[in-house]
Structure 1
């Protein structure tokens, strides 16, 4: 490391950045002079590194991320991998609660021939996803299924959602990078964290094509109650788990 990078490491450590060396290298590569100092000031003030840089590494891709938009987590790579595995080469895929569109981008990278739609209620997330996905997908703004074109009903092979699933009371316990710099609607899942996920499972069947699947991310503790709810909706549910990434995905299809 050079002197500038060494000094930056000291500043980042003082600000509480656990991976100061890695962050310093990324910030040094991102900009020089006054431009770099502006980025460093934002990071030292507590803004997530990914929002400062303008991108996050996800499933081997650089996903564009804007200030205020939910930063895709590494655990969500399991959701993307399961979605890719179930997507036909020329299938129809919908990502609800898309945020920056990370899962959609991962699906397109692996299945470039799909028809892909993404949707989110947050206008900042919709703008971010549109910028990242470009003309490769249609990005809609609205509340879950209300955002989707009616002609998708009965045609969707894979419906995937990384909906908010943090219990309301637990948001105060999250790192400040999340609770202070990501939209509350991207985090708050209600009293038990399952309010939005239950709505996804209730509405999914009418949109799925024959043989289609709905996939959602949740916590390990939530997977049992969520699977029971899926069963009550006439869905057959299977829980996938990756302990290394602390990731849990519910995969369901009409029974």
Structure 2
């Protein structure tokens, strides 16, 4: 690992980051400078970033929907394109009385970013989140805090049975990279994020199918399932969602390269 002697100037940071292959070296240099507690910490952060660690893991947080979401080693970094899914979900959350808040589930929650962002933007929801990765669950509990409850387990398995048939919005940011494409991902994801958060099986839709198979039993009448996917998978994903009795549609945002399949349980 290359060593950098403090103090480091902005120019020196940019030069080192560019040499390490960082495309947005100036932006990253500003973030490192603003986040480091002292020159020694700054040098350590630069060494970690130059060694290939994701910037968000170096900083200890990722910006998402205006929030600073804590992330760390072994935790999937929330993508900015997924903010589109949260915006779609917010529009579907029914406005209910405080005595009967809308019920939201965040499956494959990772850092808990989606559920935390949605709950923070609304006037009270009953939030439940789950992930199979212990590191992700620990991280999600930090981010969700008093906004909801985070469970450790596979998809719906750890959730309270009392939620069945009561869920108004079901967020499922499932892994959707086809297995053979995982090795083509940038090293930041392929090396430093858990494979279980990336690998969606042969066609990338294996976990989506598992979620859809149970979703109708958990959704309330009129409740909606929202799943992010890729543009090339959207037609198959929409068909899968529709095959389970949900009214399916695809929404997309060209600006953020985001594609979301929404399935609504008929009332």
Cα distance in 1 between the residues matched to 2:65 and 2:147? 18
CA distance in 2, matches of 1:172, 1:38: 28
* C-alpha deviation, 1:112, in angstroms: 3.7
Q: Identify, as 1 or 2, the structure richer in helix.
A: 1
Unaligned runs of 5+ in 2: 1-6, 96-100
CA distance in 1 between partners of 2:116 and 2:62 (Å): 12
User: 1:105-254 alignment to 2 at 5 Å?
Assistant: 105-254=116-265
Shifted more, 40-49 versus 226-235: the winner is 226-235
Per-residue CA distance 1:234-255 (angstroms, 9 max, x = gap): 1110100001111000010124
Displacement, 1:37?
A: 1.2
CA contact (8 A) 1:52 1:67 kept: no
On the 8 A contact 2:238/2:249 being kept in 1, the answer is yes
After TM superposition, where is structure 1 displaced by more than 4 Å over at least 4 residues in a row? Answer: none
The TM-score, its normalising length taken from structure 2, stands at 0.93
Q: Alignment RMSD, CA only? A: 1.2
Greater shift after overlay, 103-112 or 179-188? 103-112
Gaps of 5+ in 1: none
Q: Deviations over 1:159-196 (max 9, x none)?
A: 01100000000011100000000000000000000000
Contact kept in structure 1, 2:168 and 2:219, CA below 8 Å: yes
How many Å apart are 1:88 and its aligned residue?
A: 2.3
Alignment correspondent of 1:39: 45
Determine if the alignment matches structure 1 residue 13 to structure 2 residue 18.
Answer: yes
Whether contact under 8 Å (2:75, 2:194) holds in the other structure is yes
Whether the 8 Å CA contact 1:93–1:158 is kept in 2: the answer is: yes
1:145-166 per-position Cα deviation (integer Å, ceiling 9, x unaligned): 1021111111100001100000
Give TM-score, length-normalised by structure 1.
0.97
